[in-house]
């Protein structure tokens, strides 16, 4: 297993430290309600660093990709370092590794990250594309996650189709929502509303139908979010 002392990880940490703003960092930490501190790196600088450092990265194998990504993730002391691990996981040179076999990497990020900024990015930009490219095994996995005990995996199963538009599998979406309808957790209720609101851009009438069908089973928050952009 690669460690946080790999050459690439050292470069990432060195560059992020060099451009970090200690005055900005506490504000970013407070906004995210993060236990892990920030370096205070502005987003444009963060992405510029990632593009430069990752441009020429090559992975000898899928195992090498997994080890580098998780080494950076596990060794992180600042939140931007974990964001960098997430960026590294999806670079062009890692496209061939975006298969169901990569789900152990993304599951670790979701479970150990256990917060909305990590989970939402991984769900939308990593899990979602794998689902679209490998629907049979991924649908089965998302249905399993939707019924599990981990709320962040359940949230992932609900929002992983955010970018699918007309390719959204409604049966899968509704199946993943169903186990969380009675939950009081804010992040699950918000996820339900968000997923429905996003699909409403494609088929508002269907979202209205679903909301009316579920009635009181949908929380007020989920219902409000689902219909936010739907005309009366």
Residue-wise pLDDT for 122-143, tens only, equals 999 999 999 999 999 999 999 9
Measured between alpha carbons, how far is 20 from 172 in angstroms, rounded to an integer?
42
Q: Is the pLDDT of residue 9 over 90?
A: yes
pLDDT in tens, 72-121: 999 999 999 999 999 999 999 999 999 999 999 999 999 999 999 999 99
Residue 170 three-state SS: helix
pLDDT in tens, 186-223: 999 999 999 999 999 999 999 999 999 999 999 999 99
**Nearest in space to 108 (alpha carbons), one of 53, 60, 70, 56:** 70
* Per-residue model confidence (pLDDT) at position 101: 98
Q: How far is C-alpha 176 from the geometric centre of its chain's CA atoms?
A: 16
* Per-residue model confidence (pLDDT) at position 90: 98
* Per-residue model confidence (pLDDT) at position 231: 75
* Per-residue model confidence (pLDDT) at position 4: 47
- Give Cα separations from 78 to 47, 62, 184 (angstroms): 16, 26, 31
Q: Is the pLDDT of residue 53 over 80?
A: yes
The chain-wide mean pLDDT, for the chain, equals 96
pLDDT over 90 percentage in the chain: 96
Measured between alpha carbons, how far is 186 from 115 in angstroms, rounded to an integer?
12
Domain residue spans of the chain:
1-96, 98-232
Reported as a pLDDT band with limits 50, 70 and 90, residue 57 is very high
- Per-residue pLDDT, averaged over 6-33, amounts to 96
* Per-residue model confidence (pLDDT) at position 1: 41
Beta carbons within 8 Å of 97's beta carbon, 6+ residues apart: 59, 62, 65, 66
- Per-residue pLDDT, averaged over 142-149, amounts to 98
* Per-residue model confidence (pLDDT) at position 218: 97
The sign of the CA dihedral 72, 77, 81, 83 is: positive
Considering only CA atoms, give the Rg of the chain.
19
Measured between alpha carbons, how far is 68 from 64 in angstroms, rounded to an integer?
6
What would the CATH number be for the domain defined by 98-232? 1.25.10.90
Specify the CATH architecture of the domain 1-96: Alpha Horseshoe (1.25)
**Nearest in space to 146 (alpha carbons), one of 135, 159, 162, 158:** 158
Contact between 174 and 213 under an 8 Å Cβ cutoff? The reply is no
Contact between 124 and 106 under an 8 Å Cβ cutoff? The reply is no
Do the domains spanning 1-96 and 98-232 agree at the CATH topology level? yes
* Per-residue model confidence (pLDDT) at position 5: 66
Tell me the CA end-to-end span of the chain in Å, nearest whole number.
55
* Per-residue model confidence (pLDDT) at position 232: 60
- Per-residue pLDDT, averaged over 4-11, amounts to 86
Q: What's the pTM? A: 0.94
């Amino acid at each position: 297993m690669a460690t946080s002392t790999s050459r690439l990880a050292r470069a990432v940490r060195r560059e992020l430290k060099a451009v970090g703003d200690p005055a900005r960092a506490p504000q970013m930490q407070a906004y995210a309600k993060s236990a892990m501190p920030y370096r205070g790196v502005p987003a444009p600088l963060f992405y510029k660093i990632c593009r430069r450092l990752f441009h020429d990265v090559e992975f000898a194998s899928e195992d090498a990709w997994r080890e580098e990504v998780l080494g950076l993730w596990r060794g992180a002391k600042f939140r931007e370092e974990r964001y960098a691990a997430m960026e590294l996981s999806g670079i062009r040179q890692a496209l061939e590794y975006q298969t169901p076999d990569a789900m152990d990497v993304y599951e670790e990020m979701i479970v150990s990250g256990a917060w909305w900024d990590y989970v939402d990015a991984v769900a939308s930009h990593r899990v979602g594309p794998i689902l679209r490219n490998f629907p049979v095994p991924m649908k089965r996995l998302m249905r399993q996650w939707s019924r599990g005990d981990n709320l962040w995996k359940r949230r992932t199963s609900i929002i992983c189709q955010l970018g699918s538009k007309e390719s959204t599998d409604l049966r899968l979406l509704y199946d993943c929502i169903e186990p969380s309808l009675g939950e009081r957790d804010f992040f699950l209720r918000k996820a339900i509303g968000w997923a429905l609101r996003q699909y409403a851009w494609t088929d508002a009438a269907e979202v209205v139908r679903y909301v009316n069908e579920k009635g009181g089973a949908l929380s007020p928050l989920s219902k409000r979010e689902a219909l936010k952009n739907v005309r009366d």
